[in-house]
Amino acid sequence: MAKQVFDINTNKGAFSAAMSDEHQRNWNDERWQFQLGKPGNNYDRSREHMNFEIAKGGRVQAIDRSKNIPQKFLERCAELGIRNPDYKTDPKTGKEIPTNRITTAKIIFQGSRERMRELAFGEQKVNQTQ
């Protein structure tokens, strides 16, 4: 039986591009081989096309790897009229400094194919041949 996991953790500080690559599985062939070779890994490249994200409006879609998570975060902040909450302007120097605020959460779902489809799509009709 596949592992069934729901994990949520705070992510203190800015979300890095490297963390984004890990979460989006935005890897080249060499990186995939490295990850697959790790003892106890839970990666299955044949299921890569099943990874999804929840987009604006609650739309379920394939992961958009054209932008990393920090870029998406900043774009969303700009849409809402919010400046980057991970940084503030130092009144003495005028330089941007980290705020150490917790602005993102890491949420991980993992499980069997059937469970993931149920979580992702509920009762929606889905073309499962892709």
Please, what are the averages of pLDDT over each run of 10 residues along the chain (130 residues)?
74 75 86 86 79 82 89 90 87 88 76 78 72
User: Is residue 39 one of the residues assigned to a domain?
Assistant: yes
Q: Is 20 within the bounds of a domain?
A: yes
Domain region containing 82: 5-121
Residue 55 lies in a domain: yes
Any residues with CB less than 8 A from the CB of 111 and at least 6 apart, and which? Answer: 2, 3, 4, 5, 119
Number of domains, the chain: 1
Return the pLDDT at 130. 55
Q: Report which secondary-structure segment, H or E, holds 74.
A: helix 69-79
Is 127 within the bounds of a domain? no
Query: Is position 129 within any domain?
Result: no
Domain presence at residue 15: yes
